[in-house]
Amino acid sequence: MEQEEKLKTAATSMASDLKVQTVGGAEKTTESVVGSEAVEAIINDWNAMSKKAANLTMEQYGPPNEAISSRLIWYNNGTWKRTIVYQDEIPHDFPEPHTDVIENFINYSVPPEMFSELAKFDGSVIVERTRGEVSSRCDMEAANFLALNLMNDIVTGNSNAEEARDTLSEVMSAYMMNRPAPYAEQLQFDVPTESTFDTDNVTIGEKIVEQGVEKIKDGLDSDDRQ
């Protein structure tokens, strides 16, 4: 990419940032839904767990808002900001062998100093700092409710990674035995309905000026050599 195009791209990007921070509209969702025949055609060749997750999610929330060969997407379904069921299966052995095929998202700001503790807790709890989201990816929605409730316990100081892992194993076992398991049935904390972006801080201003000065010097040195 030529320098002129790089600067044009940066200018477009800054204008977009200003627009979405002042006017809004950073995240757009699809309101329409995909017809059942089209969805069935997509998931027909999926593996058993992915297909089961897709069917269970459609039973719970209706048809998806978007559907392509690799995934189905719902927006603002129930308590979730977004739900994705994937064709691809990610193998995961905690707390028992399964494949991760469904991911549920919420608005949630995690302090950066808590990232490591959450990573120790569960590798399928995914934090996006800039977007202000946390998601959990597992084999069923109940497991994602559970993981996100424990994520909140860790962030709020009511648990640590080791304790949360024990609790997850205990509660998931109770859920599978059809015993009371509130943490696997719904979120136990309030979720922001508005976006919780972490836009960070501008740091490039002085650096770009310094690089501009160096570029001028480069040009002068080149002229001297000629």
Per-residue model confidence as pLDDT tens digits over 71-91: 999 999 999 999 999 999 999
Best-predicted range by mean pLDDT (12-16, 102-106, 196-200): 102-106
Residue 206's H or E segment, with its range, is helix 205-225
Q: What is the pLDDT of residue 20?
A: 84
- One-letter amino acid at 18 equals L
Other Cβ atoms within 10 Å of 183 Cβ, number: 23
Does pLDDT of 222 surpass 70? Answer: no
| pLDDT, tens digit, 9 for 90 and up, residues 108-157 | 999 999 999 999 999 999 999 999 999 999 999 999 999 999 999 999 99
**Backbone phi, then psi, for 146, in 5-degree steps?**
-60, -50
Considering only 21-30, 105-114, 178-187, which range has the smallest mean pLDDT?
Answer: 21-30
Q: What is the pLDDT of residue 194?
A: 85
What band does 17 get if pLDDT is binned at 50, 70 and 90? confident
CB 141 within 8 A of CB 184: no
**Backbone phi, then psi, for 30, in 5-degree steps?**
-90, 125
Cα angle: 78, vertex 43, 86; to 5 degrees: 55
Rg (CA), the chain: 23
- One-letter amino acid at 208 equals I
